[in-house]
Structure 1
Amino acid sequence: MTDKFLYVYSYSCEEAKHLDQLALWRDSRRENISCKNAIEEAIRRDFNGMHLSASCAESIIAEHGFKRVNWVLANSVQQKEWDGRFSHDNKLWAKRTYIPLDMDSFTGNSRNLDFVVDSHPAVLDGFINQYRRTYQALGLFDYTQCESDSGEIDYEGRVLVLSTDSLKESCWSQQDQLWLATGGFGCRPTGSGRAVYATCLGDGEETRWNRHDFIGVLKENHLPDWAKEKRMELQGQSSEDAPHIGGMKME
């Protein structure tokens, strides 16, 4: 299934030139500016001087997608990090998105300023809160549900959480995020390679990823029952085969 939203290009203009991807950079930059303008227009439309319409952020997400809106909002807060009208929590949230410095060699100005939302910071902070609540309502896994030492864990045989950055938005679901690692040099934290071979717990697809495509190892207490059953099936173990202790089935 193809993604209806334009790819968010995450490198600078200079990097794009080096990679021969300038067209991708230009298209993404144009879309960043379009998204920025759409957010400003939506806030003008939906802010009555006291409150922001509850559906304001959703209307922009439907038009530009979660990834693009995240990129533009995170950039806006990063460029105005000094502004105390943005909440501390939203500043920390914005910092989790790495946006490379993109300097114009002719003017000496940062191209990142081209897609900074210029709405009133206090109102924009409320818009960001709306965006984050809408994203959280999707129920996707993130780093908070993963083992804190995932970077030091051997992935083989573990259930991994695939980053949403590696998935098309049309595939954003828990079923598409959970993968059972089956091998590859990238499973080892100090391995010489990056490849992680894994099977999707949602549909059984087998493919190769790189270690950095995963957020980490999902904590056992966050593993849904359907995923536990699929893991046992893939590992050649049925629920009836699980050992019992004191009449209780151990998984």
Structure 2
Amino acid sequence: MDSRKPLYRHSLKEAVRHEEKDLWRECYKINCDCARAIERIIAENYDGKKLGQDLAEPIIEQYGFNRVNWVLANTVQQKKEDGRISPENRQWAETFPIPQEEHNWQFEVSSHPGLTDLFISDVRKAWQALGLFTAAHCVENSQNQDYTGKLLVLNPYILGSAYQTPERQLFLARDGWGCIPGAPRQTVFGRFLSEEKDQITFFNRSDFIGVLSAEYLPDWAKEKLAAMEVPEAEETPSDGMTLQ
């Protein structure tokens, strides 16, 4: 079983409806394996007084951030009333839209909640160290803007583990119904700014955090935009980065 396979985020009911039950089942099994791996590494590195250092790294390497975060967030959601989980980690866990199903307890980490909380904090620190763009780097309320020609920030959770980098998050929208707020169809066509070739691909509007604020545009992106065979990128603080 490939532990790095993409995470299946939908419920069993949806999987059956879309004839994807095998995908759901395989993901569920890997989620359970991931939870057991976390339990083992905690048990093997707790000496009765303190938990060992750098335990998150091998788990993340084996299963990828998306699955590790999903399993840990599910664990906290199952332990909602447990005061041994920090408020910060409880708040973090609630941001994951995990379908609430009767099977979820099986990929809950059953280690001591206090030790699990420490492990979650280590995983979150490792995630923060990636330096990814967040909503704080986007124009306020830009989710309600027309995305046509805008430099958008992809939600890193939709990217595979190998592509969870700030460079890979930047997506230059070209067109598509999804560029228009409230449109009946959600597809946004465009390209990854970091790619050398102008290869058009697409995402759903909901896959984006928002429009990158001009003040956070990295130097490499400025150079890339300037070199593109389109009019020069204009900085518009109210609208973010736009190719006019």
Please give the TM-score of this superposition, normalised by the length of structure 1. Answer: 0.86
Q: Which has the larger radius of gyration?
A: 1
What aligned pairs does 1:72-91 form with structure 2 within 5 A after superposition?
72-91=71-90
Measure, in 2, the Cα distance between the counterparts of 1:125 and 1:233.
47
Instruction: State the Cα distance separating 1:191 from its structure 2 match.
Output: 2.5
Change (3 A) 1:144 1:238: closer
Deviations 1:204-246, CA, capped at 9 Å, x for gaps: 432122211211111221111111222233362459xx89xxx
Instruction: State the identity as a percent.
Output: 41
Unaligned runs of 5+ residues in structure 2 are 236-244
Partner in structure 2 of residue 58 of structure 1: 57
Measure, in 1, the Cα distance between the counterparts of 2:124 and 2:189.
32
Partner in structure 2 of residue 234 of structure 1: 228
Task: Kindly indicate whether the alpha-carbon contact (under 8 Å) linking 2:191 and 2:201 is maintained by their aligned counterparts in 1.
Answer: yes
Q: Alignment partner of 2:191: what SS?
A: strand
Change (3 A) 1:159 1:238: closer
Instruction: State the Cα distance separating 1:40 from its structure 2 match.
Output: 0.5
Matched, 1:205 2:204: no
Instruction: State the Cα distance separating 1:4 from its structure 2 match.
Output: 7.0
Q: Alignment partner of 2:49: what SS?
A: coil
Instruction: Pick the aligned partner of 1:188 from 154, 159, 180.
Output: 180
Instruction: Pick the aligned partner of 2:121 from 104, 123, 129.
Output: 129
Measure, in 2, the Cα distance between the counterparts of 1:148 and 1:235.
29
Partner in structure 1 of residue 33 of structure 2: 34
Instruction: State the Cα distance separating 1:97 from its structure 2 match.
Output: 0.6
Measure, in 2, the Cα distance between the counterparts of 1:97 and 1:54.
26
Please give the TM-score of this superposition, normalised by the length of structure 2. Answer: 0.89
Deviations 1:35-81, CA, capped at 9 Å, x for gaps: 11000000011122232222111111111111110110000000101
Task: Kindly indicate whether the alpha-carbon contact (under 8 Å) linking 1:43 and 1:52 is maintained by their aligned counterparts in 2.
Answer: yes
Partner in structure 1 of residue 242 of structure 2: none
Partner in structure 2 of residue 145 of structure 1: 137
Q: Alignment partner of 1:208: what SS?
A: strand
**Aligned length in residues:** 233
Deviations 1:87-143, CA, capped at 9 Å, x for gaps: 1111111011110022xxxxxxx1111111111111111100100011111112122
Unaligned runs of 5+ residues in structure 1 are 103-109, 244-251
Partner in structure 1 of residue 241 of structure 2: none
